[in-house]
């Protein structure tokens, strides 16, 4: 039954259906059946966009949807983390400010260029009209550590680091008045968490910190918007279950001295019955398990993925 898998998501070419919906008084969700989401906050005097889409051409569709509900200026872009698929559309919004955690800024300095090349190679469909991306990096204009508050008129917008998980710099956008959260890739729904740059041993605690806010609505990084407390709880539990199960399997295997490829095969077999139907499962598993194995052995911090390392790893695990 084994057949050669195409590298990452190079064979995933089917366009997704977009949904743009209001999830609370000031928040909208732009979702795409498991492709990366964008969260939108419309305040009294300005609009904030969290995560931009992968290219300016794709961001133009987000802008068109925003313009069906408001003509207020899009002043702020928040980068929930540094991944190319989240940030490279930023220029389309012509924002006054691009906000990111200092940790995210540091990751852009350290590995932004490599990540850009790597992500475009893995998933070409997600970078439609990639030539519309300006050369170089998307640089934040405001950085913060821990938390900051933005007032859009009378609307309080908290921009928070609740701990590491998907990356070192993970940031969420929180509307305390309406208990609405834009989580970035810290939370996924019916979509496989990408954990190639993750901190597995921190992520579950960070999800507890999100749960402690008691969100009533949440825009995950991928998958449908969660618009009631029970759905939010399900999204958090699914993400936490996947991360914990994967890491427990991999660290147990690594402790026995098994090599990465052996641990990879065992872990995929173990997790597939529960999670195999989530989108990008086959894409993520080689990256996620490589990182988990690193974290369980001798790399507390994620190693930089390059286009070359991606292909080398894929060949060694999928052959």
Residues making contact with Zn ion (CB under 5 A): 83, 185
Nearest distance in Å: CB 115, Zn ion: 10
Which residue's beta carbon is nearest to the bound Zn ion?
A: 83
With respect to Zn ion, which residue has the nearer C-beta, 75 or 81? 81
Nearest distance in Å: CB 232, Zn ion: 20
Nearest distance in Å: CB 69, Zn ion: 27
With respect to Zn ion, which residue has the nearer C-beta, 83 or 291? 83
Nearest distance in Å: CB 83, Zn ion: 4
Residue 33, number of CB atoms within 10 A of its CB: 16
Nearest distance in Å: CB 173, Zn ion: 15
Q: In what order do the strands lie in the sheet with 180-184?
A: 147-152, 155-160, 172-175, 180-184, 217-220
With respect to Zn ion, which residue has the nearer C-beta, 61 or 185? 185
In degrees, to the nearest 5, what angle opens at C-alpha 156 toward C-alphas 28 and 217?
A: 40
With respect to Zn ion, which residue has the nearer C-beta, 43 or 302? 302
152 burial via Cβ count (<10 Å: 0-12, 13-18, 19+): buried
- Please check whether residue 261 is in contact with residue 270, taking contact to mean a CB–CB distance below 8 angstroms: no
Cα separation, 104 vs 77, in Å, equals: 14
- Please check whether residue 31 is in contact with residue 19, taking contact to mean a CB–CB distance below 8 angstroms: yes
With respect to Zn ion, which residue has the nearer C-beta, 83 or 168? 83
């Amino acid at each position: 039954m084994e057949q050669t898998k195409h590298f990452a998501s190079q064979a995933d070419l089917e366009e997704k259906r977009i949904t743009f919906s209001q999830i609370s008084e000031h928040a909208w969700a732009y979702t795409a059946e498991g492709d990366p989401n964008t969260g939108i906050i419309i305040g009294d005097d300005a609009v904030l966009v969290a995560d931009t889409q992968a290219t300016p051409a794709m961001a133009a569709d987000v802008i068109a949807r925003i313009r069906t509900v408001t003509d207020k200026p899009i002043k702020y872009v928040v980068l929930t983390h540094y991944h190319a698929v989240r940030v490279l559309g930023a220029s389309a919004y012509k924002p006054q400010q691009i906000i990111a955690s200092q940790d995210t800024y540091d990751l852009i300095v350290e590995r932004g260029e490599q990540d850009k090349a790597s992500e475009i190679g893995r998933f070409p469909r997600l970078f439609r009209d990639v030539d519309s991306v300006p050369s170089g990096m998307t640089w934040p204009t405001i950085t913060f550590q821990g938390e900051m508050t933005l007032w859009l008129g009378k609307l309080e917008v908290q921009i928070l680091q609740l701990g590491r998980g998907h990356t070192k710099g993970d940031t969420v956008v929180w509307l305390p008045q309406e208990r609405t959260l834009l989580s970035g890739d810290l939370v996924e729904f019916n979509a496989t968490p990408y954990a190639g740059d993750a901190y597995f041993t921190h992520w579950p605690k960070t999800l507890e910190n999100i749960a402690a806010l008691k969100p009533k609505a949440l825009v995950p990084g991928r998958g449908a918007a969660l618009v009631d407390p029970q759905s939010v709880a399900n999204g958090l539990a699914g993400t936490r279950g996947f991360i914990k199960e994967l890491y427990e399997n991999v660290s147990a295997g690594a402790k026995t001295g098994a090599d990465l490829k052996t641990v990879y095969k065992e872990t995929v077999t173990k997790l597939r019955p529960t999670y195999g139907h989530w989108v990008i499962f086959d894409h993520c598993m080689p990256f996620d398990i490589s990182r988990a194995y690193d974290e369980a052995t001798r790399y507390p911090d994620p190693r930089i993925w390059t286009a070359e390392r991606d292909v080398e790893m894929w060949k060694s695990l999928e052959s």
